[in-house]
Amino acid sequence: MLSEWTAECSLDAPTLVVPWSTDVQEGGPQAKAHFIDLRANPYDIAEIVEAEHNTTLARALRSLNATRSPFLTAKCDTWTLSSSEQSETLEALRMELLLHEEEAHFGYASYIDLLWRERSVFASAHQQQDRLDRIVRRAQRLPHAEVAMECILRPAFLDLSGPLEGFAVTFYLTALGPDAEIARRRWELAMDDTVALLRSKELEAARGSATIDAADGYPLRVRHLGS
């Protein structure tokens, strides 16, 4: 798997703000996209539109928000790439993956915003960079030659029970294929393997460490962001 990470932490870089809500309208009445407290209420995943008809994404979100996961998830989305609409994007990725042209007519992509639960890690760009180095090295050994993973370190601001400044990671995963079905299947397999990597024991929060979703022993209401 092609795997790398970059940082977008300049003063004018976009900041992930948690919590948030926004108006959305897709051919029907206007509604609000907002947090769903997936850690406290796992069954509320049914309210996340992006995961409603995508069992692989739903499984990833459940795993990444599980009790022993080192992460909380924020925004997420998936989309399809086609040569007729995103030819430049597909061509650039095909060249990076060293694939033949016939292997890159379609793509399937996703992103998930991740927040490290351990407070000391959330607040430290240096600690996150060290962990991203480990994640990238391990991801490069995954047997997915038609898939690219990119992680972007960016500023984050949380105000759950009090303001916290730190950093988040946007995790992108894109798979290419000769047709849309094969591209999506390759993405599904790579997503399962990558989430297993992110849930590895070495990335878990240290036992007894303070986390961003707990204060004075009481859980905070951390909500999942539907995008």
CB-facing half-sphere around the CA of 137: CA atoms within 13 A: 6
Please say if the pLDDT value at position 28 is more than 90: no
How far apart, in whole angstroms, are the C-alpha atoms of residue 76 and residue 111? 5
* For range 44-70, the mean pLDDT: 92
How far apart, in whole angstroms, are the C-alpha atoms of residue 46 and residue 54? 11
pLDDT for the residue numbered 21: 76
Query: Is the pLDDT higher at 3 or at 24?
Result: 3
Taking CA atoms, 58 is separated from 73, 103, 188, 210, in Å, by 12, 27, 11, 27
How far apart, in whole angstroms, are the C-alpha atoms of residue 41 and residue 96? 40
- Contact, 105 vs 179, CB < 8 A? yes
* Most confident by average pLDDT, 4-13, 47-56, 130-139: 130-139
pLDDT for the residue numbered 32: 66
pTM across the whole model? 0.88
* Structural domain harbouring 85: 2-24+31-225
CB-facing half-sphere around the CA of 54: CA atoms within 13 A: 25
- Contact, 73 vs 58, CB < 8 A? no
pLDDT for the residue numbered 11: 86
State the DSSP H helix or E strand holding residue 195, giving kind and residue range, or none if neither: helix 180-198
Backbone angles phi, psi at 40, to 5 degrees: -80, -30
pLDDT for the residue numbered 212: 83
Q: Are strands 163-177 and 214-215 parallel, antiparallel or unpaired?
A: unpaired
Please say if the pLDDT value at position 133 is more than 60: yes
Domain count for the chain, please give it. 1
- Contact, 36 vs 52, CB < 8 A? no
